[in-house]
Amino acid sequence: MDAGEFRGGEETRECVTTIFGEYLNICRLNKYKILEAIMKSVIFEKKVIRPSTIQQILNYMKDSGYRIALVFLFCSLISNFI
């Protein structure tokens, strides 16, 4: 494994956690079911997920809510000027 492959893995992990956080924010009906399934796999099936990865997903989920709110705000402000 060379350094380029490792960097690609880090970028992939970052992209997946970002997308996953966005998805959890958008699909609020399934958010708790998904998080529950992840935690069940960690606890009962002994799957390994780094706590920092789970924290990143939750942070992206929160940040996604802020981004969506800002988009709606900017769209409403722009529509007032048009």
C-alpha to C-alpha distance for 35 and 17, rounded to whole angstroms:
13
Mean pLDDT (whole number) for 55-64: 85
- pLDDT of the residue at 31: 83
> Looking at the predicted structure, is the pLDDT value of residue 71 above 60?
yes
- pLDDT of the residue at 78: 85
| Residue 2: DSSP 8-state | -
C-alpha to C-alpha distance for 24 and 31, rounded to whole angstroms:
5
The residue ranges of every structural domain in the chain are 3-81
DSSP one-letter string for 29-72: TTHHHHHHHHHHHHHTS-----HHHHHHHHHHHHHHHHHHHHHH
Mean pLDDT (whole number) for 35-61: 85
- pLDDT of the residue at 1: 47
- pLDDT of the residue at 5: 56
Mean pLDDT (whole number) for 19-45: 85
Contacts of 59 (CB under 8 A, 6+ apart): 21
